[in-house]
Amino acid sequence: MPTTNLNAFERRLLNDFQQDMPLSPTPYADMAARLGVSEAEVLEALASLREEGVISRVGPVLAINRVGASTLAAMAVPEPRLEAVARLVSAHPAVNHNYEREHRFNLWFVATAPGEAELAQVITELERATGLDALVLPMLQDYHIDLGFELQWN
C-alpha cells in the first residue's frame, strides 16, 4: 500500500504514535480515545498497515543493553540475493529491523537477545541460513537518537 493511499485516520495514527504510546494496561483503547475512534478500529488499522508492509511492528524501543544484548551487524549480500536475504534476516524473531546501504556491506540489521551467548547464537543462525558472514559491530557507546519526526504526505 503506497503511503499516498492512506486515509486521514491512518496517517494520524502513524504520525501521532511514533512516540509516546500510552504506557497503560489498555494502550490501544487509550490511543483510540485520543483519536476519537474505537479500540477495534485502531487494532484493525494497525493490522492492515502491518499486512500491507507500511509498518513492521508496533511496540516499545528498549535500551536493550540494560536488559539483554544487542548488536548492529552487516552482510555483504550479492545484489541478486539481496531481497531474499533481507526477508530471511527480517523473519528472525531477534531482528528488529534491517536496511540496505550503498556499500560493499549492503544489508545492515540490529539483533537483540537475552544475553551475549544467545546473541552470538542468533548471528550464527543467520550466517548459516544465508550462507554469508556477518560483520558484527557491537555498541561501544550509547547515543540516544530520537527517530520520531513529523511525517510528510504527498
pLDDT number for residue 105: 97
Q: Which cell is 18 given?
A: 511514533
pLDDT at residue 88 is higher than 80: yes
- Kindly report, residue by residue over 63-87, the tens digit of the pLDDT: 656 678 899 999 999 999 999 999 9
Identify whether the C-beta of residue 70 lies closer than 8 Å to the C-beta of residue 139: yes
Q: Which residues of 19-32 are buried (b: 16+ CB within 10 A; e: fewer)?
A: eeeeeeeebbbbbb
- Kindly report, residue by residue over 23-67, the tens digit of the pLDDT: 899 999 999 999 999 999 999 999 999 998 888 888 776 665 667
Q: Alpha-carbon Rg of the chain, whole angstroms? A: 18
- Kindly report, residue by residue over 5-25, the tens digit of the pLDDT: 899 999 999 988 887 788 899
